[in-house]
Amino acid sequence: MNQIKIFAPASVANVSCGFDVLGFCLEPVGDQMLIRKTNSSGIKITKIEGQNLPLDVKKNVAGVAAEALLKAHPTKSGFEIEIYKNIKAGSGIGSSAASAAGAVYGINELLGKPYTSHDLISFAMEGEGMASGTVHADNVAPVLMGGITLVRSIDPVDVIKLPIPKALTAVVLHPKIELKTMHAREIIKKNVTMEKAIQQWGNLGAFVSALYNEDYDLMSRSLKDEIVEPMRSMLIPEFESLKKASIQAGAIGFGISGSGPSVYALTKGIDGAKKIHSAINEVISSIDIDYEIHISKINEQGIKILTD
Amino acid sequence: MNQIKIFAPASVANVSCGFDVLGFCLEPVGDQMLIRKTNSSGIKITKIEGQNLPLDVKKNVAGVAAEALLKAHPTKSGFEIEIYKNIKAGSGIGSSAASAAGAVYGINELLGKPYTSHDLISFAMEGEGMASGTVHADNVAPVLMGGITLVRSIDPVDVIKLPIPKALTAVVLHPKIELKTMHAREIIKKNVTMEKAIQQWGNLGAFVSALYNEDYDLMSRSLKDEIVEPMRSMLIPEFESLKKASIQAGAIGFGISGSGPSVYALTKGIDGAKKIHSAINEVISSIDIDYEIHISKINEQGIKILTD
């Protein structure tokens, strides 16, 4: 196999009580990438469509991630990458993670899979690090491993795949305003009160338990974030109205996706998701910005190979 | 039924990554209590053996907890409480929690069980509050509900019972020096860095997952505490040596029990626990203090009625 075409999906990270550790993979939205093994060594990004992003491998998350892999696994072959972006950079649904994960996934396949999905996280993280200014794994992990993931540690990388309650469905709103991850990081405080930290880990522990027991009521009680949301939500237009409308329409939880401006709601089943879609649409259409709303099951597989 | 004799067990709270939220119930150590329904209203503590504690109901955790229950559930009857203490106050294995939980459990039984175990937590917490200066539920919850519990919230009370991996066994060392919970609370900082808080909730989420999957390796990787242990461990003689010896003897985790001075190790099986018992004994016997070491399975039932 000398070339591979893949689908690198979007993802939701910083899931309320799971700031910096919890993420899940989406199904309908994602980039396509074509990766080709060549005889000349090194990484080349030969084409990017759909977004104005640098072809320079040192300045592109896919290039940085790919080079991290090749540094750990030297080979005589080189790789050319074509990227067909559908996920907008700065949208908060893991645009850079998709590119970084896609590059290392594709190259790993063409090398005959020397690495597991879990192994690939650290390479993809290096790409992410360039995009956001800090190294984090909560988007690349669900893209590479699929489903819902918990990043216990990034040094060393230790990621746990959590169970996916069957009916769990996400609604994601992407208001098309740009919010740089690096900027959204800046407004996060360096310290938190012990009291709020305890609430957060109590909620995260409960949310993990709720996933195992498919306990939607407990998911709802525990999907809270009193640490980051109060700060970052100010950057998102109509955040409180969107949250209120979603919860009234039956969402079990609502919060910021990644570092925003996208927001997510979780609910039970497609019908529930459609109600939330309508509720969100009513709020967001009242202001003058472009937006997209996606309904998505949790993508259990994550990144995948496309066959033409 | 006009009187009831109960066994109110000791418990381990603040389980490493689960500061203020995670606790488990012990089997072999505990108090006995005799609770008698009388015709004169109100609570009386008529006898305390084994410890020098106040008979005044307003100054005794059992009395405060019992009065909290009766305030919510007025009745013409009164209750007399006899307490036979085996758990030393200030030991860090839930002495006050056993008394508070025992009082409300016994009275609830004699009233015909108007409350569930989960309901009783809030009454027992009021007793705990008097002892420690802050209201917390991570000892009374596992005593009342049994097993391993996660306190998601104390206002309102929301406690989740977690699964107990079959082989999970605790070793608890009680060095007989007194450490007031209130004092141990004082050295806890009011703020934590975001970085350490994220590590803590990543570890707690992973530990909960590990309990569901009986994944002892993951339990071991996640039983960490970089927030409270670095401060409180200084108050505990030979803490680092005890920890090192326990881990070398095969413990999957080691930490402070409650607010100390007791420490706990968790391991797989009774044979593993015996090895840790020896290792701990070797370290602690080298210094001149009295101590007790207990080996205990996780007590799934919690508090129970004794039949003579």
Distance, in Å, from the CA atom of B162 to the CA atom of B142, rounded to the nearest integer, reads 10
Cis omega (within 30 of 0) for bond into B165:
no
Same domain for B147 and B233, yes or no, is no
Pair (B143, B184) in one structural domain: no
B181 is catalytic: yes
Q: For residue A197, which residues of chain B lie inside 8 Å, CB to CB?
A: 192, 197, 200-201, 227
**Alpha carbon separation from A180 to A89, A211, B253, B272 (Å, rounded):** 9, 31, 40, 51
Answer yes or no: do A25 and A158 share one domain: yes
Selected residue of B14, B208, B218 to mutate for chain A interface (largest A Cβ count, 10 A): B208
- Among partner residues B152, B198, B207, which is closest to A203 by beta-carbon distance? B152
Which of A185-199, A208-222, B169-183 is predicted most confidently?
A208-222
**A71 and A56: one domain?**
yes
B201 and A199 within 8 Å at the Cβ level: the answer is no
Residue B25 placed within a domain: yes
Q: Do A109 and A206 reside in the same domain of the chain?
A: no
Tell me which residues of A are annotated as active site: 128, 181
Is A275:A295 a contact under the CB 8 Å cutoff?
A: no
| Amino acid B16: pLDDT | 97
Split at pLDDT 50, 70, 90, the class of A181 is low
* Radius of gyration, CA atoms only, chain B: 19
**What integer best gives the mean pLDDT of chain A?**
94
As a whole number, mean pLDDT of residues A275-298 equals: 96
Of the three residues B131, B162, B193, the one that is the final residue of a domain is B162
> What CATH code is carried by the domain that includes residue B152?
3.30.230.10
pLDDT of A90: 87
For residue A196, give the nearest of B258, B224, B227 by alpha carbon.
B227
Length in residues, chain A: 308
Residue matched to tokens 């000349």? A40
Q: What is the pLDDT of residue B134?
A: 75
Query: Rounded to 5, what percent of chain B is helix, strand, coil?
Result: 40, 30, 30
pLDDT at A82: 98
Residue of A191, A201, A232, A259 best to disrupt the B interface, most CBs of B under 10 A:
A201
What is the pTM for the complete model shown?
Answer: 0.96
| A interface test, pick of B17, B19, B160 with most A CB neighbours within 10 Å | B160
In a domain, B305, yes or no: no
Mean confidence (pLDDT) of chain B: 94
Q: CA–CA separation, B117 vs B113, rounded Å?
A: 9
CATH assignment at residue A231: 3.30.70.890
How far is Cα B34 from Cα B32, in angstroms, rounded to an integer?
A: 7
**Angstroms from A304 CA to nearest CA on chain B:** 26
Please tell me the distance from the alpha carbon of residue B279 to that of residue B245, in angstroms, as a whole number: 6
Q: Is the ipTM of this complex over 0.90?
A: yes
Same structural domain, A196 and A87: no
Residue labelled with tokens 């640490």: A227
| Contact residues on chain A for B21, CB-CB shorter than 8 A | 198, 201-202, 205
CA–CA dist A22, A208 (Å, integer): 10
Q: How far is A193 from chain B (nearest CA, A)?
A: 4
What is residue B308's predicted lDDT score, i.e. its pLDDT?
67
**Containing H/E element for B141?**
helix B140-145
Q: Please state, in angstroms and rounded to a whole number, the distance separating the CA atoms of residues B14 and A173.
A: 39
Contact A222, A203 (CB under 8 A): yes
Q: Which two tokens stand for residue B220?
A: 């071991």
| Same domain assignment for residues A155 and A193 | no
CA neighbor of B164 nearest in space, from B265, B22, B297 = B297
SS3 for chain A is CCEEEEEEEEEEECCHHHCCCEEEEEEEEEEEEEEEEECCCEEEEEEEECCCCCCCHHHCHHHHHHHHHHHHCCCCCEEEEEEECCCCCCCCCCHHHHHHHHHHHHHHHHCCCCCCHHHHHHHHHHHHHHHHCCCCCCCHHHHHHCCEEEEEEECCEEEEEECCCCCEEEEEEEECCCCCHHHHHHCCCCEEEHHHHHHHHHHHHHHHHHHHHCCHHHHHHHCCCCCCHHHHHHHCCCHHHHHHHHHHCCCCEEEECCCCCCEEEEEEHHHHHHHHHHHHHHHHCCCCCCEEEEEEECCCCCCEEECC
Q: Is the pLDDT of residue A120 over 90?
A: yes
Measured distance CA(B16)–CA(B23) in Å, rounded? 10
Q: Report the alpha-carbon distance of residue B31 to residue B98 in Å, rounded.
A: 7
Residue B260 located in a structural domain? yes
Q: Which residues of A touch B (CB under 8 A)?
A: 17-22, 150-153, 158, 160, 162, 188-194, 197-209, 212, 218, 221-222, 227
Q: Is residue B276 part of a domain?
A: yes
Contact between A152 and A158 (Cβ < 8 Å): yes
- The answer to whether the Cβ–Cβ distance between B20 and A202 falls below 8 Å is yes
Give yes or no: residues A258 and A178 share one domain. yes
The residue range of the domain holding B196 is 168-297
pLDDT above 70: percentage of residues in chain A: 97
In chain B, the number of structural domains is 2
Share of chain A above pLDDT 90, in %: 88
Nearest of B192, B20, B231, B17 to residue A194 by alpha carbon: B192
- Closest approach of chain B CAs to the CA of A125, in angstroms? 17
B75 is known as an active-site residue: no
Closest CA to B209 of A198, A116, A266, A210: A210
Structure tokens at A11: 């993802």
As a whole number of angstroms, the distance between CA A155 and CA B231 comes to 23
> Among A215, A132, A5, which Cα is nearest to B152's?
A215
Q: Does any domain span residue B308?
A: no
pLDDT value for A241? 97
**Cβ neighbours, 10 Å, residue A244:** 14
Q: Are residues B45 and B186 in the same domain?
A: no
- pLDDT (average), residues A235-263: 96
- Across the interface, which of A190, A198, A208 has its CB nearest the CB of B205? A208
- Tell me which chain A residues have a C-beta less than 8 angstroms from the C-beta of B189: 194
- A47 CB contacts (<8 Å, ≥6 apart)? A55, A82, A83
At residue A229, φ and ψ (nearest 5 deg) are -55, -45
CA nearest A207 in B: which residue?
Answer: B205
Q: CA–CA separation, B43 vs B57, rounded Å?
A: 7
Q: Chain A residues with CB inside 8 Å of B221's CB?
A: 152-153, 158
Q: Is the pLDDT of residue A69 over 90?
A: yes
CB count in 10 Å sphere of residue A190: 8
pLDDT in tens, B183-229: 666 778 889 999 999 999 999 999 999 999 999 999 999 999 989 99
pLDDT one digit per residue (tens) for chain B, 308 residues: 799 999 999 999 999 999 999 999 999 999 999 999 999 889 999 999 999 999 999 999 999 999 999 999 999 999 999 999 999 988 999 999 999 999 999 999 999 999 999 999 999 999 988 877 778 899 999 999 999 999 999 999 999 999 999 999 999 999 998 766 666 667 788 899 999 999 999 999 999 999 999 999 999 999 999 899 998 998 899 999 999 999 999 999 999 999 999 999 999 999 999 999 999 999 999 999 999 999 999 999 999 999 86
Residue appearing with tokens 């918990």: A150
Domain match, B158 and B244 both: no
Token couple for A17: 């009580």
Q: Is residue B241 part of a domain?
A: yes
State whether B197 and A192 contact (CB < 8 Å).
yes
Vertex B262, ends B258 and B266: CA angle to 5°? 80
What integer pLDDT is reported at residue A281 of this predicted model?
97
Choose one of B137, B162, B187: the last residue of a domain: B162
- CB pair distance less than 8 Å for A205 and B205: yes
Q: Which residue has the higher pLDDT, A178 or A240?
A: A240
Where does a domain end: B93, B127, B162?
B162
Write out pLDDT tens, residues A17-56: 999 999 999 999 999 999 999 998 899 999 999 999 999 9
Are A206 and A86 members of one domain?
A: no
A chain contacts of residue B23, beta-carbon cutoff 8 Å: none
Let me know if residue B98 belongs to a domain.
Answer: yes
Contact list in A for residue B151 (CB cut-off 8 A) is 202
One domain, residues A270 and A155:
no
Which residues on chain B are in Cβ contact (under 8 Å) with A192? 191-194, 197
Residue A180, pLDDT above cutoff 70? no
